[in-house]
Each structure stands twice: as structure tokens, then as C-alpha cells.
Amino acid sequence: MKIIGKYPKTRLRRVRNNDWIRRLVSENDLSTNDLILPLFIREGKNKVESIKNMPGVYRYSLDKINKIIDQSIKLKIPMIALFPYIPKNKKNKLGTEALNQSNLICRALKLIKKNKKNIGVMCDVALDPFTSHGHDGVIEDNEVNNDKTIEVLVKQSLLYAKMGCDVLAPSDMMDGRIGKIRNALEKNKFCNVKILSYAVKYASKFYGPFRDAVGSKSMLKGDKKSYQMDYKNSNEALREVALDIQEGCDIVMVKPGMPYLDIIKKVKDNFKIPVFSYQVSGEYSLIMNGIKKKIISNDAIIESLISLKRAGSSAIVTYFALEVAKKIKTNH
């Protein structure tokens, strides 16, 4: 970029020295339209259960989620994302509970769609909450079998679509699953169901608190490096995105968020498609613990989300969604 201007005629501080001028020349802003609220759900009644290492985040029984969803609608948050905490006695090697028409996600979808018309619902398509080994697919010969896993993911996707899911979010990182899911949706007249592909999901150490939240951390055998991306790679991310767009996804996700701002920008610059980012549990917990211990101020929350917007995120899955939406409403 050619630098235009020369000191002292050009003083960049001139457009920083008042609040009103800073607002006028601001290149990025945050609105409630940018926020997606993750919601952890569990079995039982009258349950609001705190999650270890995620201060301020809870698991809710289904009779408690209406209040949270009503609050989200009132604050104009466009979408919630459902994540289930499945009891150990319902998990097995094949994750068959994922295809149970009365499972936790299906009952939540029925409840939400019966009462709430004005908010989108996103569901992860993956087997890790349902498997006894904590992996995202079917294990054969000590590895996740790509094609057999896809067969199950297609059935899971159709089940969720039938129950009213608006946005299917395959987070499994199997090769070719987007095309198979899209073809099945078209064949079964679910052509308006959207696919948000976790196209760029890294094998990250920032997922720990989330795995506690869905109950898979203690069950996970080994790691997920054979199917999630190597965090040392960036060009590979573009290949993943290109393939998923070709196969029929509507939106792509980069996960985690802040450690991968360069990837968000690279994807946004190369593909004219909505790019969502996930400010994951480890990011959330680090920020929250920093605030709690007064190492950083509460303003770091907004700064962290703006950084994701600045990099190119169209929307952000964040555990701060309710808090930030309230702040935006107050300021406006």
C-alpha cells in the first residue's frame, strides 16, 4: 500500500481526539445481528447446572430454556446453537443415541419450534456427544472411519431437519460429508435447511472446557489430529473451504476464533461467502478468568469480538452473546 500524506500536514491523531469523530470514522462495529448464543442442554427437570471452568455458563434442562430463548429474542440475537450433555448410560461406541427420535436435541427442537418462531436454531452434526470414546465418528481398526461416519451423519442431519432445525452444522471434519448431506436434504424436500460447515476446525487445545460441558472430555481416547486440522497449516484451510462450497454448504466456520484471525481473513478474502467464527470455550474461560482476577477489564470482551469482525467474521458464536447484547441495547 502506498502511504499518502506527510507529517505535519497529515496528523492521524486528528481523527482520534474526540469520541464523536472516532465513531464517525470507525471501520467496524458490533451489533446483536453478529451474535450466536451457544446453549447447553441436559436431561432432567428444573435443572440449572454450572459448568466447571466456564464461569457464568450453565447446562439447562428443557423446562428452563424458554426463559433464555425469550431473552435472546428480546435482545434480537438471531440464532441459538444447541449442544447436548448426554448421560453416560446413553452413550455407546456407535453413538446410536444420535439417531433416536426422542433424544435430547430432538425434544429441544420440538419444544423450541412449537413456541418460538422468531429465532434460528443451529445444531451440531457430529457424534462426539453420543459416543463412549468421545470421537466424532465410527471407529474401526483404531481410527475414525470416514465413509461409515458419513452414513450416520446423513441420518442425523435428516432427523434434525425433520424436527425443525434451521441450520445444520457438521463439525466432524469428515471428507465429503457436506455433499452427502446436501444431496440427502434435497432428495427429502429439505431444500431450505441451511448448512453451516465447520470447514476449518483445528485440532486445538482451546476446546477443553467445552468437552467438560458436553461430557466428552473424560471419555476421549487419544486425540483428533487425524481428522481435525493441523494448527500449523493455513493453505489447507482454503482447500477445505473450497471443497465444502463446491459440495453445497451455505456458510463456513473457522474454529477456534482469536488464535486464527489470519485464517478468517484468508477465507473471507478468497471466497465471497459468509464466514462465521467460534470464540471457543478456552478463549471464553481465559478472558473470564482474566476479568475475574482483575488482570484485564471487562472491555476486553468487546475488543475480542471486534477483532473477529475486523478479520472478516460475518457472525460469531460466543458465550458472551447475552452479556454483549445487553450492553449493546443499553448503549443504543
Instruction: Give the pLDDT confidence of 246-258 residue by residue, as tens digits.
Output: 999 999 999 999 9
State residue 52's pLDDT score: 86
For 202-232, the pLDDT digits (tens) are 999 999 888 888 877 677 878 999 999 999 9
Fold designation for 29-331: TIM Barrel (3.20.20)
Checking if the pLDDT of 262 tops 80, the result is yes
Q: Which residue has the higher pLDDT, 332 or 192?
A: 192
Quick one: what percent of the chain has pLDDT higher than 70? 99
Checking if the pLDDT of 130 tops 90, the result is yes
Q: Which residue has the higher pLDDT, 172 or 221?
A: 172
Kindly state the average pLDDT of the residues 260-276: 97
Which are the catalytic amino acids? 201, 255
State the Cα–Cα distance between residues 147 and 206, nearest whole angstrom.
28
**199, 206, 204, 192: which is closest to 177 by C-alpha?**
199
Q: Is 232 exposed, middle or buried (0-12, 13-18, 19+ CB in 10 A)?
A: exposed
Give residue limits of the domains in the chain. 29-331
For 69-124, the pLDDT digits (tens) are 999 999 999 999 999 999 999 999 999 999 999 999 999 999 999 987 789 999 99
- pTM of this prediction? 0.95
- At position 169, the amino acid (one-letter code) is A
State residue 217's pLDDT score: 67
